[in-house]
Chain A
Amino acid sequence: MRLPFQISVEKRTEDYPKWLPALMSLLAVVIAFLISGLILALVGGDPARVARFFWSATFGSWATFSDTMVKATPLIMVGLACAVAFKMRLWNIGAEGQFYLGAFFASLVVLVPILPPEAPKPLILLTMAVMGMIGGALWGFVPGFLKAKFNVNEIITSLMLNYVAILWNNFWIFDRWSEGGFQMTATFPRSYWLPRLADYAREYRAFAGITLHLGVVFGLIAAIAVWWIFQRSRWGYEIKLIGDNPQAARYAGLNITRNIILVMMFSGALAGLAGMSEISGVVHRLQERISPGYGFTGIIVAWLAKLNPFTVILVSILFGALIVAGREIQPSGLAQLLQGIILFMVISSDVLLRYKVSITRAA
């Protein structure tokens, strides 16, 4: 059979227009939503109803939008963590564990206690943030060190450490810090909480019930810092060079070993900060399942954002919405499925940036 038209695939020789990658990503997300809807219909769900629910539960009102932003907050920091590592082609998929260890270290401030509740609040919050970053950096150091010194694959080590971090946390909340035999610590005193908009409801009535907390500002600051490092600093330039062409970087005399460790620690620190923000801003105690897989979603966020720190913020809001809606949508794996399809669509669409597909009439 002869087709009435001809499909030709050619390698792009000219540069593609600047808007094309963004359009592709957007299309990828839309198509992923459509495919997920199809699968949902296949298992007997009602895609239209789920879509309406999705909208009203995430962007429908200021209160629900605030819920979305609360979920987006850790994603911004974890997404940045992944983006930083991926820039150097270091596959840190241990952000989940770094998040947990950041939460653990931040909890030390409350539970040891390192600072009493009477200490000045800015000092408390700053200490907790720094401790969170130290915890995450420590957990990022291990795979970084092993990669740099023994050439051990960081994908597997960082992933294995996720399980170790969760078990470590479990020991403390089941055993040492258990509150009345429950798998959680006691609620932190209020002076260890990140301020929320709802705290100012007396002054501004509109803020009543709005749970958005200061952590989102941490995320914005982190995004600006990452942007600055990559666009303006020498270190960021080194990281990008090593990522793009390690051979050339070595000839240029860059210390790759040291940079591997530093980047993994920086990446871990950002994920650890997310852990601190989550327990101090949302959960207010250390407990099981403080993360519904933020560390893994962060990988998708970073990739979908093409490792751009400001796009990470936008993508995080979309994925925050997915998490908010995903808690209510049945079947429960739908949000995860959607994430997988989105990522697949995005990497597949990249091929269209490298090749030009044209359809012409057959001669």
Chain B
Amino acid sequence: MNPEIILHAGIATGTVLLFAAIGEVLAERAGILNLGVEGMMLLGAMAGFKMSLASGNPWLGVLVAVAAAGVLSLAHGLVSIHFQADQVVSGLSLTFLGTGLALVFGEGLTGKSPPLIPNLDIPLLSSIPFIGPVFFDDHSILVYFGYLLAPLTWYYIHKTRPGMHLRAVGEKPEAADTLGINVYRLRYFYTFLGGCLAGLAGVAISLSVSPGWYSAQTTSGQGWIAIGLVIFAQWNPINAALGAYLFGAVRRAILDLQGPRTLFGFTNPLFINSNWGFFLQMAPYLLTILALIIGSRAAMRRRLGAPAALGVPYIRGERGL
């Protein structure tokens, strides 16, 4: 129960959620609700794992994972942008499709050990007491990328011109269209980007955080937790990142609570009967529900919330909202 270790591992685990949640923030900001995150993540996890195994190069694995999930997300894009289908159903079917593809192509990968994404220390920063060992010591390169991704995405969405276009497309597509912004193209682009990040999240699991291919258990619902985080974070990438790290730490603490014989001077009930751990394992899921309640209440109070055109197909030439 060393807080340094829990936080260190929490950051690593949380990075997975961070990628997936920020990808979903981008897609939803453009007005596309993609519930297929779990499927895209699983496909990414499988594709990256398989490629790294075949080529011996984990970075090739990352590339393939990102591309595979990105391409898969375009199926959702086509159905929801051009065919104007219900985005909830389309996203759900994307999860089925991604899971199915991952299981079919991932047959026989369990137990294999491909080269993993390397860990490294950041020279000066890692010697700062507490902060160094938690944030800058022996982390996967993807973790450091995550540190940059959240603030950069925030800056992009809120302070740049393309970011403004992104928000316009998600809030009032018909107005954006009259300004000469290509609504369809941008929506495809951000759906694709969201898919790529979900793939990155997947490969971060299978080639770094908890290496291996355990079929559908590889992601164990983290894609859904990421979608919940987006609502909790009020579509803000910085909040999404913080939430992701918090969830990562909780997941890790659950594992660590089951080990020791005594806990804070008391006998650890989990040591005597590990079955109590089932209740502990419910924590991330219950916490997601709690986070959603908090997020939804905040949204109701501040009259803020989802992008106005979230989940609404844009049909050129028809009256908008």
Binding site for B on A (CB under 8 A): 39-40, 43, 91, 93, 146, 150-153, 155-157, 159-161, 163-164, 167-168, 170-171, 174-175, 296, 299-300, 303, 330-341, 343-344, 347-348, 350-351, 354
Closest chain B CB from A53 CB (angstroms): 16
Q: A171-B279, A330-B107 are in contact. Are A157 and B102 (CB under 8 A)?
A: no
A-B contact pairs, 5 of them (CB 8 A): A43-B105, A91-B88, A160-B228, A333-B102, A354-B84
Closest chain B CB from A349 CB (angstroms): 9
A330: nearest chain-B partner, CB-CB: B107
Judged by a CB distance under 8 angstroms, whether B221 is at the interface is yes
Judged by a CB distance under 8 angstroms, whether B54 is at the interface is no
Judged by a CB distance under 8 angstroms, whether B300 is at the interface is yes
Whether the Cβ atoms of A331 and B99 lie closer than 8 Å is no
B220: nearest chain-A partner, CB-CB: A163
Q: Which residues of A contact B279 (CB under 8 A)?
A: 167, 171
Question: In the bound complex, what is the Cα–Cα distance between A153 and B294 (angstroms)?
Answer: 12
A174: nearest chain-B partner, CB-CB: B275
Question: Do most interface residues of chain A lie in helix, strand or loop, or is the interface mixed?
Answer: helix
Whether the Cβ atoms of B285 and A337 lie closer than 8 Å is no
Which listed residue, A93, A157, A331, A354, touches B92 by the CB 8 Å rule?
Answer: A93
Question: In the bound complex, what is the Cα–Cα distance between A21 and B79 (angstroms)?
Answer: 18
Which listed residue, A156, A299, A336, touches B228 by the CB 8 Å rule?
Answer: A156
Q: A156-B288, A347-B90 are in contact. Are A336 and B296 (CB under 8 A)?
A: no
Question: In the bound complex, what is the Cα–Cα distance between A286 and B98 (angstroms)?
Answer: 31
Which listed residue, B88, B89, B96, B286, touches A339 by the CB 8 Å rule?
Answer: B96
Whether the Cβ atoms of A343 and B293 lie closer than 8 Å is no
Whether the Cβ atoms of A336 and B285 lie closer than 8 Å is no
Q: A164-B282, A347-B86, A348-B83 are in contact. Are A333 and B103 (CB under 8 A)?
A: yes
Residue of B221, B224, B225, B285 with most partner-chain A CB within 10 A: B285
Whether the Cβ atoms of B96 and A348 lie closer than 8 Å is no
Question: In the bound complex, what is the Cα–Cα distance between A245 and B224 (angstroms)?
Answer: 28
Interface size bracket, B side: 35 or more
Q: Which residues of A contact B286 (CB under 8 A)?
A: 160, 164
Q: Which residues of B contact A160 (CB under 8 A)?
A: 221, 224-225, 228, 285-286, 288-289
Whether the Cβ atoms of B83 and A164 lie closer than 8 Å is no
Which listed residue, A93, A303, A332, touches B103 by the CB 8 Å rule?
Answer: A332
Which listed residue, B84, B86, B95, B107, touches A331 by the CB 8 Å rule?
Answer: B107
Question: In the bound complex, what is the Cα–Cα distance between A167 and B278 (angstroms)?
Answer: 6
Q: A43-B105, A333-B104, A336-B103 are in contact. Are A150 and B97 (CB under 8 A)?
A: no
Interface residues of B in 66-99 (CB under 8 A from A): 75, 78-79, 82-86, 88-90, 92-99
Q: Which residues of A contact B82 (CB under 8 A)?
A: 351
Question: In the bound complex, what is the Cα–Cα distance between A333 and B109 (angstroms)?
Answer: 13
Which listed residue, A93, A167, A340, A347, touches B83 by the CB 8 Å rule?
Answer: A347
Judged by a CB distance under 8 angstroms, whether B178 is at the interface is no
Question: In the bound complex, what is the Cα–Cα distance between A316 and B82 (angstroms)?
Answer: 30
Whether the Cβ atoms of A340 and B98 lie closer than 8 Å is yes
Which listed residue, B95, B103, B275, B293, touches A152 by the CB 8 Å rule?
Answer: B293
Question: In the bound complex, what is the Cα–Cα distance between A159 and B231 (angstroms)?
Answer: 15
Interface residues of B in 84-141 (CB under 8 A from A): 84-86, 88-90, 92-107
Q: A174-B278, A337-B103, A337-B104 are in contact. Are A296 and B96 (CB under 8 A)?
A: yes
Interface residues of B in 227-259 (CB under 8 A from A): 227-228, 231
What is the 8 Å Cβ interface bit string for chain B, positions 287-321, against chain A (1 contact, 0 not)? 01100110011011000000000000000000000
Question: In the bound complex, what is the Cα–Cα distance between A303 and B279 (angstroms)?
Answer: 34
Whether the Cβ atoms of A333 and B107 lie closer than 8 Å is yes
Whether the Cβ atoms of A167 and B96 lie closer than 8 Å is no
Closest chain A CB from B289 CB (angstroms): 5
Question: In the bound complex, what is the Cα–Cα distance between A245 and B100 (angstroms)?
Answer: 35
Question: In the bound complex, what is the Cα–Cα distance between A339 and B285 (angstroms)?
Answer: 26
Q: Which residues of A contact B2 (CB under 8 A)?
A: none
Whether the Cβ atoms of A146 and B293 lie closer than 8 Å is yes
Closest chain B CB from A151 CB (angstroms): 5
Q: Which residues of B contact A336 (CB under 8 A)?
A: 96, 99-100, 103
Question: In the bound complex, what is the Cα–Cα distance between A339 and B97 (angstroms)?
Answer: 7
Closest chain B CB from A213 CB (angstroms): 28
